[in-house]
Amino acid sequence: MLFFSILFISICDQLIKVIISKNLYITQSIPVINNFFHLTYIHNRGAGFGILAGYKNLFILLSIIIIVLLLIYRNNCIKNNLSDLAIGIIIGGALGNLVDRIRLGYVIDYLDFRIWPVFNLADTAIVTGTFLFFIYYWGVEKNNE
């Protein structure tokens, strides 16, 4: 489950980014649901919401550290499908954005809900995986009381 999740998320993320970058020009926005959801192609040189732009090497280092720490934790925790899925989704998302930062110097973002900064599948995976990880961790802690 762990390695499948990592591969599935990181490969899907990279494939979508290639499709976006080949078919849209930078800052182009295509309405999918008018005034609600658009595909908008941008280059994000920072972290979430574009903060700390210009710290590419810091984000590369932090991504690698987080991936390594999650793998170490996974090897030392109670393994089950939920923990593997959560950790795999987080790592897959982190890898997707890490590949962009190393290869391009920025992250390709494209999901635009108009009320939130533009983001991508990798960002969604990191948030979803973190949510699932907290559910897993909360359940483990409750069972250990």
Catalytic residue set: 109, 123
Burial 108-134 (b: 16+ CB within 10 A, else e): bbbbbeeeeebbbbbbebbebbeebbe
Tokens representing residue 31 in the block: 């309405």
Contact of 100 with 119, CB cutoff 8 Å:
no
